[in-house]
Structure 1
Amino acid sequence: MTSTAAHEPALPVLPAPATGAAPARVGSGAGSGAGGLTVPQGTALSVGAVLGTGVITLPALAAGIAGPASLVAWAALVVLSVPLASTFAALGARHPDGGGVSTYVRRAFGDRAAGAVGWCFYLAIPVGAPPASMMAGGYVADVVGGGRTTTLVVAASLILGTGLMNAAGLRFSGRVQLGLATVLALLMTATMAVALPHGHTESLTPFAPHGWGAVGSAAAVLVWGFAGWEAVASLAGDYRNPRRDVPRATGIAVAVVGVLYLGLAATSVLVLGPAAGSSAAPLSDLMAIALGEQARVVTAVVAVLLTIGAMNAYFAGGSRLGASLARDGALPAWLAKGSGPGEVPRRSVAVIAGSSASALALTAVLDLGMTPLMLLATGCFTLVYVLGTASALRLLERGSAGWWCAAVAFASVVALLVVNGLHALWALGVVGLSLAYQARRRRRVA
């Protein structure tokens, strides 16, 4: 849910959406529509797919895990974005298809593996929705008070409200989603501009108070803010000239995202110092230092709107994904109702909303923070990247620049899956259950 968070899963050419912000298709008109996407438009959509509402809290979470050394984790994820985004750009340029990762996994490894990718996306939503909604809740609590109680009430309201919106068939348009991502980028830029002059280099010491091993743990959490590069591939077919324009747009998007993320993370550490790791609303704290306490209200409103946009897109794309997986036999058939064009997959919406509410209730009862559920979600995202880059190694010409990018990206995301620790067992378990279910179904049909 790092998006409009970017991550609005693209409402799929199923069975797999992009984890990131809905790569909203530009409307009809001159230079628009299928085959009409320009480099500036593609860049904006790619940036929107990666910039996520998670960044409103990620700098604090990462700083809490690794201290100032969390900047190393941010830098590592930015560097990893280069081969990872390049890999999906190469796949999209050579095999333009709206299905994105699922298409490549199917071509490389077959239908069962593609179904497993769908399960990873689908089951990442219920564990990702509680921390995403709690991020917004933390900003509201920062303004009105009430601490954890307010945070949980706001989170529950967002989950329930988003579920009802989708059950009624209400969704934000792609242009609204892109507009929300633009607001986030502008907010990040403004925050850096007004707060950075208040920073102090003394805040960088001690640099690694929790040891260097904590950098890996921070990186595992930060995957939340970088999921979305696979959307580059699903957009490829919309460009006027995919082979030329996809790499250009991707390169610009990587640079923009890297500057924004690194700049905001550095600003948080330099300005907030040790308090950065314990802040529930770091953007509000930064804005308040520079502009006064009244800025907290504005930042809280923006945080809530961005979270609603991201969760709405996740629920919309995820519910359609679940219904389509069921239609194709990768999930129980009763979930397929509403999978047709123009229909509302209310059963799938109910599963996502109910599972999300249950995960939030479990978080409240066990007094958990956001990090455990975020790691479960990022484990799923990371495993999807493992499968996607592995597919690239089979589909791209061996020894080509794209193939070497895929090799580097594959090794990197495998390492990220390892540092995800025991939480990665959730993602591996999801894949195992998917393969077992599909095998059992095939035997019954046969």
Structure 2
Amino acid sequence: MSKAQAQPISLQKTLSLPQIVSLYIGAVIGSGILLIPGLAAEMAGPASIVAWVVMSLLVIPMAVTMGLLSASHPSAGGVSHFVRLAYGDRFGNLVGWFFLLSVPIGAPILAVTGARYIAVLFQLSDLQVYGIAALILLAVLVMNWVGLHVAGKIQTIVVALILAILILAIIAALPHTSAVNFTPFAPNGWFSVFQAAGLLFWCFIGWEAVTHLSEEFVEPEKNAIRGVVWSAGLVALLYFGIAFATVATHSYGNGLSEASLSVMIQLSLGPVGGWIVGFTALFICIATANAYVGAASRIAYALANEGSAPRWFGILHTKYRTPIGGLGFLTLCFLIVLTVLWSGTVSLAQLIQLPNATFFATYIGGCLAGVRLLKQNRFGRISAWISLIVTLGLYPFLGWSALYPVVILILYMVWKRK
């Protein structure tokens, strides 16, 4: 057995600019790109493209805020570290728990999503689906156990494959585009465009995840902001390309919206396109889960060092210097969540609302920290204010799941008193 120790050890700086960009892209481009373009087009028609452009512009300040904070204050604590610097330990640790308790639910959801796309291709049973989901999570845990020098390289390869396949989907759709599909432009009125914009926000969550890896960036003061700018531009272009092709080929409506990417690519490639999309879904889910598991294990490590989490959360591997304590906590949570999903007690659609709420709460904390910590940077201060207004404005629309961060707050206060 490998030896481990609980005392704090410096994390290695192993992530170069290409790996940082791939981690950002892997965190942001999640399963939403498989669902949201078709759903948004069904909701707002061709005018949904306007919503994509607007949201792409609105999330740039959010991405820049996270990038500037990572460059100025690199730490495994990520957003919680920024909040701690701005408002003290109590609030910083609370935000850390918001993020940490998002991933044990969110990562299994990603794994099951990827497994279900594979299940469609091979007509697998539910038990086999959850077996594949468990293998996906195991692979991600092993990559992060060995270290980010391995996980980062694998992430770069996986993200490159995702980009290539998405670009292929856009190119394959071009011969089937028609101007007729853009009329009427706003069939459901312009209010539907605002509704679609709210839906699209879920496609742009992820910038906060990589901040937890900033302590392992090579030259973080330069590469953090470069990484976020490059990835924000690439993500925006990809989303717009897929959304435009979805509308231009009318690959939505009549039960097609939830599989619009598959429908679109099959226009040129036939059934082979379905296989391509199936494996693309698997790659996307692995890449996103990899980024979030890496981030969550490091926030567990940071919280343990702050005395706001059990000591064993802070155990580092003596050889790889990876946070195996945090990875162990995530492993236990993954087993519980997969079991609950497999039993049918809670559906994926119901469960996914919980991590969305805590991600929102994490963003609000990060934006508030940016307002205070980026005072001397005019561009950064404006970006933080815009991000704060956007996230606060959308939070009430979460519904009942908005109470999940409140429950975490109560449990955190009780634990601290004891």
Pairwise same-fold verdict (TM > 0.5): yes
Indicate if the aligned counterparts of 2:111 and 2:285 stay in contact, CA closer than 8 A.
yes
Q: Does residue 102 in structure 1 map to residue 80 in structure 2?
A: yes
Q: Does residue 159 in structure 1 map to residue 140 in structure 2?
A: no
Deviations 1:269-302 (A, max 9, x none): 3324433864444332222111121222233223
Q: After the TM superposition, which residues 200-215 of structure 1 pair with which residues of structure 2 at under 5 Å, given as runs?
A: 200-204=178-182, 215=193
Separation (CA, whole Å) in 1 of partners of 2:221 and 2:33:
30
In the alignment, which of 408, 415, 418 is matched to residue 437 of structure 1? 415
Q: Does residue 298 in structure 1 map to residue 276 in structure 2?
A: yes
In the alignment, which of 170, 187, 201 is matched to residue 192 of structure 1? 170
Match of 2:98 in 1: 120
CA separation of 1:324 and 1:83: change in aligned 2, threshold 3 A? closer
1:63 deviates by 4.1
- 286-295 vs 344-353, which moves further: 344-353
Indicate if the aligned counterparts of 1:60 and 1:276 stay in contact, CA closer than 8 A.
no
Q: Does residue 412 in structure 1 map to residue 393 in structure 2?
A: no
Q: Does residue 383 in structure 1 map to residue 348 in structure 2?
A: no
Q: After the TM superposition, which residues 341-380 of structure 1 pair with which residues of structure 2 at under 5 Å, given as runs?
A: 341-342=321-322, 344-345=324-325, 347-361=328-342, 364-365=344-345, 368=347, 370=349, 372-380=350-358
Q: Does residue 54 in structure 1 map to residue 32 in structure 2?
A: yes
1:430 deviates by 2.5
User: Higher helix proportion, which one?
Assistant: 2
Q: After the TM superposition, which residues 161-176 of structure 1 pair with which residues of structure 2 at under 5 Å, given as runs?
A: 161-165=135-139, 169=145, 173-176=151-154
- 252-261 vs 309-318, which moves further: 309-318
How much is the aligned-residue C-alpha RMSD, in angstroms?
3.7
Q: After the TM superposition, which residues 218-367 of structure 1 pair with which residues of structure 2 at under 5 Å, given as runs?
A: 218-230=196-208, 231=210, 235=214, 238=217, 240=219, 242=221, 247-275=225-253, 278-319=256-297, 321-322=299-300, 325-326=303-304, 328-332=306-310, 336=313, 338-339=315-316, 341-342=321-322, 344-345=324-325, 347-361=328-342, 364-365=344-345
CA separation of 1:343 and 1:384: change in aligned 2, threshold 3 A? closer
TM-score with structure 1 setting the length: 0.75
1:193 deviates by 1.0
Separation (CA, whole Å) in 2 of partners of 1:251 and 1:323:
28
**3-state SS, counterpart of residue 275 of structure 1:** coil
CA separation of 1:246 and 1:399: change in aligned 2, threshold 3 A? closer
CA separation of 1:319 and 1:256: change in aligned 2, threshold 3 A? closer
- 268-277 vs 373-382, which moves further: 268-277
Indicate if the aligned counterparts of 1:64 and 1:276 stay in contact, CA closer than 8 A.
no
Match of 2:121 in 1: 143
1:108 deviates by 0.7
1:184 deviates by 1.0
Separation (CA, whole Å) in 1 of partners of 2:295 and 2:212:
17
- Aligned residue-pair number: 400
1:41 deviates by 6.5
Match of 2:5 in 1: none
Separation (CA, whole Å) in 2 of partners of 1:103 and 1:125:
18
Higher relative contact order, structure no. (Cα contacts within 8 Å, ≥ 6 residues apart): 2
Deviations 1:169-192 (A, max 9, x none): 567621101211111111111111
CA separation of 1:251 and 1:343: change in aligned 2, threshold 3 A? closer
- 209-218 vs 116-125, which moves further: 209-218
